[in-house]
């Protein structure tokens, strides 16, 4: 019998097959070693920061990246043919091959429409250069996961660079934050509730000057002084174990400047406004409490026409919108000053009919300051007249006020009259009869 080992060793076919197997195994080992080596180098040499879409800095970073891309495109399109790729990368440009568009749309009172388009890095990987460092941007969307707050697909932006350069992430986040805040500098952002979160409503508004809303003598100054005193005394409240929150109720007839004053006050303080509609469909006690708890920092919470939502003398069936909301009166009281209510909060409520409000709603702790804003007084009439037509027309302001003596007129009606005769103070006086007639017809 032929020795098996001798036969296999002398067989050229077997030797060739064994050799191929050996080569294949060797290549597999090398490939596996190379992959492990690459993974090891990646873990040792690279560092990443992941920013999920529900984090505040997510939009900040996308806006910051879009600005850099826009700056680079403007530089390239400027007509300077000597602009090179090196100059663009030194400028920190992000020039992705795939971009996504974010459109802002605004329709003006005259019917015209203005739009602005912002290009941000789309899904996938992009490279940019910042502070002499290459950084990879990887924007990914997980279609199978939904962001609970926004009901949108869950997204992440991952920034990757060398581990020795990890401190650059802090600089990027800080710069992105400062850029985002600079876009709203000198403006007031209005927030409305969307599910369990607050979202900006429209474009930021230009801040309204406080002296553009003329209240009766001393009223505006009194409210401003009280609010600023509250803001600057957080430690005092904390040391005495007093909940750090303040409630204001502005009441009076329609057109007396309640909402306008709140807007102007927010602008003067550098605050934003969170508008909460208690009659909103689907609003519950738990969601109301949550919204008041997570209101953006440096914001005034505004509950307009509070009597329309809760009126103990009104049948629920009289208002279909009321039935759409599931907020209970006790739920509102608990949200304002219950055990789970939040601190560091300023709430403004407005009403045209304070007599309709339940006393439990306006007691101290829920409403700390009540201010009546009535129809225009002689002081307001004269101040508004000189604001529209100049301080040199004080005598004409007195004449105008005398013609309105004995008649009831709101500041909103006065403003409308002045706007109609904005170019001629004498015309405003000559046509005061039309203003009186309009006021009488609106009673």
Q: What is the CATH number of domain 205-372?
A: 3.40.50.300
Residue range 148-176, pLDDT digits in tens? 555 567 788 888 888 777 788 888 889 88
Confidence of residue 127 (pLDDT cuts 50, 70, 90): confident
pLDDT(423) > 50: yes
pTM of the model: 0.71
Residue range 201-257, pLDDT digits in tens? 877 888 889 999 999 999 999 999 999 999 999 999 989 888 899 999 999 999 999
pLDDT(17) > 70: no
Distance, in Å, from the CA atom of 216 to the CA atom of 227, rounded to the nearest integer, reads 18
Query: Of 40-54, 89-103, 124-138, which gets the smallest average pLDDT?
Result: 89-103
Give mean pLDDT, residues 35-64: 77
Give mean pLDDT, residues 390-402: 93
Confidence of residue 326 (pLDDT cuts 50, 70, 90): confident
pLDDT(332) > 80: yes
pLDDT(368) > 90: yes
> Mean of the per-residue pLDDT values for the chain?
79
Give mean pLDDT, residues 317-332: 66
Nearest to 350 by CA among 291, 412, 423, 277: 277
Cβ contact 193:280 at 8 Å: yes
Distance, in Å, from the CA atom of 40 to the CA atom of 410, rounded to the nearest integer, reads 75
The residue extents of the domains of the chain are 47-183, 205-372, 378-441
Confidence of residue 341 (pLDDT cuts 50, 70, 90): low
Output the CA torsion 244→278→186→65 (10° steps): 100
Nearest to 346 by CA among 193, 260, 227: 227
Indicate the SS3 state at residue 241. Answer: coil
pLDDT(258) > 70: yes
Alpha helix positions (H), 184-249: 219-231, 234-239
Distance, in Å, from the CA atom of 308 to the CA atom of 319, rounded to the nearest integer, reads 9
């Amino acid at each position: 019998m032929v020795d098996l080992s001798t036969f296999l060793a002398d067989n050229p076919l077997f030797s060739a097959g064994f050799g191929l197997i050996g080569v294949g195994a060797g290549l597999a080992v090398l490939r596996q070693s190379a992959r492990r080596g690459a993974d090891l180098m990646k873990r040792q040499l690279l560092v990443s920061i992941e920013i999920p879409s529900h984090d505040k800095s997510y939009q900040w970073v996308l806006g910051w990246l879009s600005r850099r891309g826009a700056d680079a495109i403007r530089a390239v399109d400027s007509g300077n043919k000597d602009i090179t790729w090196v100059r663009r990368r030194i400028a920190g440009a992000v020039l992705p091959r795939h971009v996504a568009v974010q459109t802002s749309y605004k329709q003006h009172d005259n019917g015209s429409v203005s739009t602005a388009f912002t290009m941000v890095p789309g899904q996938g990987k992009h490279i940019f250069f910042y502070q002499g460092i290459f950084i990879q941007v990887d924007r990914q969307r997980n279609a199978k996961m939904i962001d609970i707050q926004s009901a949108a697909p869950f997204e992440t932006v991952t920034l990757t660079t060398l581990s020795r350069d990890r401190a650059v992430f802090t600089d990027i986040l800080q710069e992105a934050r400062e850029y985002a805040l600079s876009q709203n500098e000198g403006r007031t952002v209005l927030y409305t509730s969307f599910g369990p979160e607050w979202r900006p409503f429209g474009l930021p508004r230009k801040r309204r000057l406080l002296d553009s809303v003329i209240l009766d003598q001393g009223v505006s100054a009194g409210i401003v002084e009280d609010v600023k005193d509250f803001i600057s005394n957080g430690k005092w409240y904390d040391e005495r174990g007093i909940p750090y929150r303040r409630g204001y109720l502005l009441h009076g007839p329609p057109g007396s400047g309640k909402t306008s004053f709140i807007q102007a006050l927010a602008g003067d303080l550098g605050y934003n406004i969170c508008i909460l509609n208690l009659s909103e469909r689907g609003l519950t006690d738990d969601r109301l409490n949550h919204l008041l708890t997570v209101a953006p920092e440096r914001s005034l919470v505004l509950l307009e026409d509070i009597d329309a939502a809760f009126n103990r003398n009104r049948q629920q069936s009289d208002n279909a919108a009321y039935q759409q909301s599931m907020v209970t009166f006790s739920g509102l009281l608990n949200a304002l000053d219950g055990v789970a209510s939040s601190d560091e909060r300023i709430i403004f409520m407005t009403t045209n009919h304070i007599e309709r409000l339940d006393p439990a709603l306006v007691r101290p702790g829920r409403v700390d300051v009540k201010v009546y804003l009535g129809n225009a007084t002689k002081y307001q009439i004269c101040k508004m007249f000189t604001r529209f037509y100049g301080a040199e027309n004080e005598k004409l302001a007195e004449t105008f006020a005398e013609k309105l003596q004995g008649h009831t007129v709101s500041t909103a009606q006065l403003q409308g009259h002045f706007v109609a005769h904005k170019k001629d103070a004498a015309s405003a006086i000559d046509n005061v009869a039309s203003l009186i007639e309009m006021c009488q017809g609106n009673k």
